[in-house]
Amino acid sequence: MYATTARPGVAECRVDDDCLLSFLEAQYVPEAGLLMAAIVAYPDNVTIWIASDDLLAAEALAVLGSPYSRIVSSQLKDKYGGGINVQYEVLLGIDPPS
């Protein structure tokens, strides 16, 4: 399945949902319940970024219908304050704390 974006003045972009889902799920680390920053490139293949990577990845996984979304979201909520760092939440429609 492909999602297509087209806006005036911007080149059309096609995104392969299945490829994107496969890419994200390949980064899942069961022991952590989170995604690593990269699969191959050191040091990111041994690094987990709570915010921004896992915060945004949890939303992408949800949009793509992955069961990992709930796991990652729960880990962020239960162990890492929701992954909130007051920099990326606006991308998800979350108002910053006052």
| Element containing residue 3 per DSSP (H, E) | strand 2-7
What digits encode the pLDDT tens for the residues 11-68? 676 778 899 999 999 999 999 999 998 778 888 778 888 878 898 899 999 999 999 9
Which pLDDT band, with edges at 50, 70 and 90, does 6 fall under?
low
Q: Secondary structure of the chain: what % helix, strand, coil (to 5)?
A: 45, 15, 35
The count of C-alpha atoms lying within 13 angstroms of the C-alpha of 92, restricted to the half-sphere facing its C-beta, is: 22
Distance CA 96, CA 79 (A): 19
Contact yes or no for 66/17 (Cβ under 8 A) = no
End-to-end CA distance of the chain: 40
What pTM, to 2 d.p., does this model score? 0.76
